Structure 1
Amino acid sequence: MDLGEQTLIFDTFNTPQAALSLRSAAEQLTGRKVTYVINSHHHSDHIWGNQVFEDATIFATDSTFDLMRTKGVARLERMRSQPMPLEKLEEALEQEQDPVQRKDLELYVDEMRQVNMALPNLTLRLPDVTFERRLAFAGSKRTAVLLTFGGAHSPSDAFLYFPEEALAFMSDIVQIGFHPSMGDGNPDEWLRILAKVEALQLSTIVPGHGVIGTGEAVGIMGQYIQLLQQMAYAAPSLDELLAIDAPAFCASWQASPVFKENLHFLYNRIHNL
């Protein structure tokens, strides 16, 4: 985002290759180097391109910094020692007949191929500056406010709010046309945070995954979480729960396998398994 005298990048993708394309696009659009980078949370698909922005200052929450230097470093070491088995994924892709799941798997295989290519030279660059609740970036064109209301999709999630445009880069707190993974988060806190975001009356949302949408996406995300919670509470058994198809409103969303992963997670959470 062009703030005026500064260029700000929100999250750096899953590989240095993708981040390099992002940096090049930002430099072409603004005519200057990237000044600031935000890491919204510690998951690798949002931070593994950090090393490309060697001249920029990287910001994250206090908790995200701690998660990156512990869990983030451990994940990178684990992936390096045990790269994703692409052959098995490619075999599964050949056998997949469902068009929705096949599309998801194609995208996943391509992403993992890029990750495996990057691993030998990938380094995890940590944030330079951390914040606790709120941090403002005042530029001559626009002001951006970096906020965190706590942990939703992950133990600590930040988003970038542009008050004058009623626009926000929501990271994975809000996803559009995309099943949000709940397994590393807290669904009750997620709903609380979505209620606070809804109070901002956003006009435009840039999601962590999916297409750009309107502020209505905040409510839809909340409805999704509440509905899956209700399904998990009502299910007589895990097997019966996992036999349920995705409701019509989200049946065509990307990342379709995540729907049943979420049901499994919620069932275990409810029954303390």
Structure 2
Amino acid sequence: MSWDDGNPYVDELAEGVYAYVQPVGGWMVNNCGTIVDGSGSAVLVDTTSTERRNRAVLAEVSKVSRGAPRAVVNTHHHPDHTYGNGFLPRETLVIGHEKCRDEVLAAGLEATRVITTPDYGDLTLRPPEMTFTDRLTLHLEGFPVELRHVGRAHTSNDVIVWLPDQRVLFAGDLAFAGGQPFLLEGSVAGFRSAIAQMRALEPEVLAPGHGPVCRGEEVGVLLDDLDAYVAYVAEVAEQSYAAGLTPLEAARANRDNRFSGWAETERFVGNLHRAYSELAGNPVDTRLTVPSVWPDMVEFHGGPIGCLA
């Protein structure tokens, strides 16, 4: 799989269900979703990172729905999925896991000081206003939308958006199609558990947080590849930790691997930091932040990490 450098586009996943795909992918450039029910009102899945990009998303939403979006579901707290909350109408309810709210408030606008190249616009922090701990079902006109917390995986607060009638799954950043997933703020074992939970649903269509939509057999291939990647990270970490290598040294020693063609290879270093923390016996909720490992990631990358947001 590889990234496409084209413009954002809308992919209809089922009747009234759409993915807004930003093919450039990468840091701060994510996918969003729109679910339109029988009344014509919309529920969004995530926002994006800059004012310009969110204006473009809302323009597309207005073409397929009526009135202001009823709600937006944040699949997790990362800024590419939540910074756009502040550009939504006040009557649009922001929904997320309870830890998503905590993390949005804790992080603030920190990402703008780490990834400095984008023009973010006039950002206003807006955390979820309705939170839940395990599951929440939105009963739209004509069908349900299930929100499921899958445990600590990509972050502490990952939520999948499952439409059982349509067999459509919005996976957030539990699925990167074409790019390396990021486990730094989550859990190695937890990410594999989340993959198993998604596989058990047997979705016919999967919209990842980054990369193109997968359909049919592509869904299983993507989940298998992601699981194999996380297993590889765990294997490298175990061997390298025992050998006394740092995460950066371990990444360098294993730079050439079957996943090195995926985008954002610098995440390999961050993922090893998380795996090392788990091997050291630290609690699963030990906080590891992007700013704390960013220098290692930049060094592994070989220079400044680009962002096209």
Give the TM bin, normalised by the shorter chain. Answer: 0.7 to 0.9
Correspondence 1:228 to 2:239 = no
Match of 1:154 in 2: 155
Q: Residue in 1 aligned with 2:103?
A: 67
Question: Who is 1:3 aligned against?
Answer: 37
Paired with 1:205 and 1:265, the residues of 2 have a C-alpha distance of 26
Aligned to 1:91: none
Report SS of the residue matched to 1:177. Answer: coil
Change (3 A) 1:246 1:176: farther
1:3 and 1:140 in contact (8 A); partners too? yes
Aligned to 1:190: 191
The letter of the residue matching 2:268 is F
1:177 aligns with 2:181: no
Structure-1 separation of matches of 2:237 and 2:250: 10
Aligned counterpart, 1:131: 132
Whose strand fraction is larger, Structure 1's or Structure 2's? 2
- Please tell me whether the aligned partners of residues 187 and 274 of structure 2 are also in contact (alpha carbons under 8 angstroms): no
The 8 Å contact of residues 175 and 208 in structure 2, kept in 1 or not, is answered as yes
Further displaced range: 182-191 or 25-34:
25-34
Taking the TM superposition and a 5 Å limit, the aligned residue runs for 1:46-57 are: 46-54=81-89, 55-57=91-93
Residue 243 of structure 1 pairs with residue 253 of structure 2: yes
Q: Secondary structure at the match of 1:262?
A: helix
In the alignment, what sits opposite 1:163?
164
Following TM superposition, where does structure 1 have runs of at least 4 consecutive aligned residues deviating by more than 4 angstroms? 82-85
Distance apart, 1:246 and its partner CA: 4.3
2:59 equivalent among 24, 39, 50: 24
* Count of matched residue positions in the alignment of Structure 1 and Structure 2: 237
1: distance between equivalents of 2:184 and 2:95? Answer: 25
C-alpha distance in 1 between matches for 2:77 and 2:132: 14
* Aligned equivalent of 1:107: none
Q: The residue matched to 2:210 in structure 1 has which SS?
A: coil
AA of the residue aligned to 1:247 = N
Match of 1:102 in 2: none
* Counterpart-to-counterpart distance in 2, 1:182 and 1:42: 14
TM-score by length of 2: 0.70
Identity over aligned pairs, percent? 22
Does residue 144 of structure 1 match 2:154?
no
**Partner residue, 2:219:** 215
| Paired residue secondary structure (1:33) | coil
Higher helix share: 1
CA displacement at 1:84 relative to structure 2: 4.5
Instruction: Say which is worse superposed, 139-148 or 17-26, in terms of deviation.
Output: 139-148
**8 Å contact from structure 2 (residues 188, 230) kept in 1:** yes
- SS in structure 2 of the partner of residue 232 of structure 1: helix
3-state SS of the aligned residue for 1:174? strand
Q: Quick one: which amino acid aligns to residue 2 of structure 1?
A: V
Does structure 2 conserve the Cα–Cα contact (< 8 Å) formed by 1:242 and 1:263? no
Quick check: 2:184–2:273 contact (8 Å CA) kept in 1? no
Would you say the 8 A contact 2:173–2:209 is kept in 1? yes
Alignment match of 2:264 (pick from 242, 255, 264): 255
Q: CA, structure 1 residues 182+143, in 2 after alignment: closer, same or farther (shift >3 Å)?
A: same
Alpha-carbon RMSD across the aligned residues, in angstroms, is 2.1
CA contact (8 A) 1:8 1:37 kept: yes
Work out whether residues 152 and 193 of structure 1, in 8 Å CA contact, stay in contact via their aligned partners in 2. yes
Gap change, CA 1:50 and 1:233, over 3 Å in 2: same
Q: How big is the shift at 1:272? A: 5.7
* 1:200 aligns to 2:177 (yes or no): no
Q: CA deviation at 1:143?
A: 2.5
On the 8 A contact 1:23/1:34 being kept in 2, the answer is no
Contact 1:246 1:259 in 2 (8 A): no
Change (3 A) 1:114 1:141: farther
After superposition, the Cα gap between the structure-2 partners of 1:79 and 1:225, relative to the gap in structure 1 and judged at 3 Å, is closer
- Which structure 2 segments of 5+ residues have no match? 1-34, 283-309
Give the Cα separation in 1 of the matches to 2:66 and 2:180.
36
Larger mean Cα displacement after TM superposition, 152-161 or 214-223? 214-223
Give the conservation status (yes or no) of the 8 Å contact 1:3–1:138: no
Q: Is the deviation greater in 37-46 or in 128-137?
A: 128-137
Alpha-carbon spacing, 1:183–1:132, altered in 2? closer, same or farther (3 Å): same
- Give 1:268 shift: 4.8
Mapped contact 2:175–2:209 kept (Cα < 8 A): yes
